[in-house]
Amino acid sequence: MPESTLRATSKFNTAELSFDDFKKIVIDDYRIGYESRQASLIGRREVLTGKAKFGIFGDGKEVAQLAMAKAFRAGDWRAGYYRDQTFMFATGMSNLKEFFAQLYANPDIEKDPASGGRQMNCHYATRFVNADGSWVNQAETMNCSSDISTTGGHMPRLLGLAYASKLYRQNKELEYLKQFSVGGNEVAFGTIGNGSTSEGLFFETFNAAGVLQVPMAISVWDDAYAISVPAKLQTTKEDISEILKGFQRENGSNGYEIFKVRGWDYIALCETYERAITICREQHVPVLIHVVEMTQPQGHSTSGSHERYKSKDRLTWEEEHDCLLKMREWMISSAIATETELDELETEAKKYVRECQREAAAELGDIIKNELEETARLIDNLAYNVAAQEELAEIASALRSSYDAGRKDTVGSVRKALRLTVHETVAERQVLLNWLSAETIKNNERFNSKLFSGTPQSPLNVPVVPVIYSEDARLLDGREILNACFDANFDRDKSIVAFGEDVGAIGDVNQGFAGLQSKYGDLRITDTGIRETTIIGQGMGLAMRGLRPIAEIQYLDYLIYAMTVLCDDIASLSYRTKGGQKAPLIIRTRGHRLEGIWHSGSPMGLIVNSMRGFHLCVPRNMTQAAGLYNTLLRGDEPAIVIESLNGYRLKEKLPENVGEFTVPLGKAEILKEGGDITVVSYGSTLRIVQEAAVELDKMGIHIEIIDPQTLYPFDIDNVCGTSLKKTSKLLVIDEDVPGAASAYIVQKIVETENGYYSLDAQPRTLTAKEHRPPYGSDGDYFSKPSVDDVIEAVYAMMNEANPAKYPAIF
């Protein structure tokens, strides 16, 4: 575990300090801030000279972040954006070597523990998942949730990180989870630029935190611009704290404490943060710290210059109000340091930062250089023994002389050499093939691994427990099966919580949680407002802090409102931290067959294509859904479970072990055997297929019906491909739009499972129409696959194969 995740800092309180101690703290702060500024300056030069790919830095924000760091304690959390390097240095959650390692995209997590070279610079994270999948003791560490580039996208997650502290403080049943909290005393610190406060994610999060009253501290870094767009085009009154005054708590109401402070005033910043965070931590009241009069000396990023859009007067003002310059002037005027002392400090700081930069560059560069030379030598050896000697010599020479070479150059050179010698059989070529095979494994680990945690706690490793029915098993509505499943799990595991619109008091719109709030309390089963984005963010933050949340989105159609958090944040979390963070959130929703444009959706293609990193569960009935919940609640990876809307009142037998049996992920099930056509479908449509099969049997056509049960992972035992060896024909039935989930399923079967080689007819899909389903039973019939559609699609395939036996119907 990299050391940067384990270091802490002490609270700043001038009342307890002598003047000499105070001077040491201030001087050390200035040193950290000045080093951070030098890192920004050097980082920009490295990008502009081609030694790094892109640069975005926190220059101009240093002094405010020094003050914020003083209020940050072990156990606290950060969810910020890419301007917070000084804060990360000041808290010890990162350092200069790691800063430059990330700038150079070093894939070694010991060098870049935040992302293993997968994120551009200033995207921070601490590692809180051990190699064996266990959790780091978050109560003893300073914690940073992984940054994303969408500048307001982290806000919903911030809500969840803060909400966890509320649950840990108020729910005494959670006291056993001591590695995640000390009595809920942790604050979740969020940072955001003034421009990004215009985003809906900010306002939705801001409102939700005010309602929930959670220890969330939002700092707005306000430098009056959002890239080139000035505040007058971004924010009403050009002042975010001014327009948020209505959230100020008063006369016993809920709400916020709101503070405004100038970003170059060191003492005022320290005092403001100490006061604001004390209120936030002790009273569990959210706070807003609006830090104004900030600057951005190098502009937004290395992709452009701010001189293009800032006036000369503004640029002059920024030079005069640079926060480090102002702090320096104050230190000299207050006799904290002399000008000569600060000159010496700055000289040493420049030298130290340059040393860190050079070391970080060399640590990756030397490895690449050695790999390059080894590769060139192997190509030389091949060249001596084949006809393409001259071409191979040119490849080796170009490789040795390449500027700023990377692994793409070494691998690309070897692949080209192998193409040139495709007809050769010399031993040296086999050596090169072996090298490429070994490097492919290494590079897959460096660049393609950890989409999921892959730990021993993965839901893929949960033991399969068969369902058990007693002889006199009761027939219940499907919703009652789910209710019994949730009841058993809430009783088993005190860390499970559920929340969403109408989940609490009425037990959700389809009664899956009926009666459970009164049994387990409103801290565990909770109603929320209409706010899909922050429902998911709330769940993500809780999951990162050791709880087991079930976040409900009332209808599948409304999942779209939360896609930013789902696809940008949760789905990429394990990957972008190279397994260093996880959020085992379960999203419960319902969709497929019903009636109406916004209550019958099946946007499965959208989900499967944008949410890689989630397990996607599509149970055909509520018993299968219960088994999937039982599996997921014992695993450590995120998942979405889509229940069939029209199945809640269909009768099913109540399992004897309703909270214990498990349905394994990725295990397709054959629901009906047959030898003519392999028919693959899922969810509600399976009932349509099963009904059609009855008539098809009477027509002498025997289809094999397969339910994949999960779309991700899909049929890991190749059940569909094996079925095709028997039937040689494939029909995929899906109620998504044409070419969406059906295309994904066909690709999996035909390509991944090698089903192509078993086909003697074109694979077919039967899907919904291009548009969303209209209201009414007729609308459903004419827009989604019906029993008639299934029968006729199957018959048409048989007609094509044997028109004499199966003459055309129409």
Burial of 530 (0-12, 13-18, 19+ CB in 10 A): exposed
| CA angle at 201 for the pair 637 and 579, rounded to the nearest 5° | 25
67 to each of 86, 313, 511, 719, 721, how far by Cα in Å? 10, 28, 49, 59, 61
Whose CA is closest to 630, among 664, 654, 655, 604?
664
| Longest Cα–Cα distance in the chain | 102
- Cross-strand pairs, 257: 287
Residue that has been written with the tokens 């300073």 in this structure: 142
- Following CA atoms 189, 192, 197, 200 in sequence, which dihedral angle do they give, to the nearest 10 degrees? -70
User: In angstroms, what CA-CA distances link 340 with 35, 331, 346, 473, 565?
Assistant: 18, 12, 10, 86, 50
Q: 193: part of which helix (H) or strand (E)?
A: strand 188-193
Catalytic annotation on 532?
yes
Residue type at 107 in one-letter notation? P
* Cα 228 → chain centroid: 29
Pairing of strands 710-712, 615-617: antiparallel
Q: What is the distance between the alpha carbons of residues 603 and 374, in angstroms, rounded to a whole number?
A: 49
Task: Please tell me what DSSP assigns to residue 2.
Answer: -
Q: Please give the angle made by the CA atoms of 626, 629 and 632, to the nearest 5 degrees.
A: 155
Give me 690's structure tokens: 């099963």
Is residue 194 within 8 A of residue 221, CB to CB? The reply is: yes
What are the residue ranges of helices labelled H in 230-338?
A: 240-243, 266-283, 312-320, 323-333
Residues in the chain: 810
H-helix or E-strand spanning residue 799: helix 787-801
Q: Which of 199, 391, 439, 599 is catalytic?
A: 599
Distance CA 271, CA 289 (A): 12
Q: Which amino acid is at 91?
A: T
Question: What amino acid is encoded at 123 in this protein?
Answer: H
Q: Are 157 and 537 in contact (CB under 8 A)?
A: yes
Q: How far apart are CA 644 and CA 464, in angstroms?
A: 23
- 8 A C-beta contact, residue 190 and residue 79: yes
**H or E, element range at 378:** helix 339-383
Residues 6+ positions from 83 with CB-CB distance below 8 Å: 56, 57, 58, 61, 122, 191, 193, 221
Strand ordering across the sheet containing 586-591: 525-527, 496-500, 548-552, 586-591, 639-644, 615-617, 710-712
The tokens for 573 are 């979390």
Asked if 421 and 408 count as a contact pair (C-beta separation under 8 A), the reply is no
Phi-psi region of 709 (alpha: psi -120 to 50; beta: other; left: phi over 0): left
Report the DSSP beta bridge partners of residue 288. Answer: 218, 258
Radius of gyration of the chain, Cα coordinates, nearest whole angstrom: 30
Peptide bond into 713 cis (omega under 30): yes
DSSP state of 806: S
Which is the catalytic residue, given 62, 480, 532, 643?
532
Catalytic sites, residue numbers: 532, 599
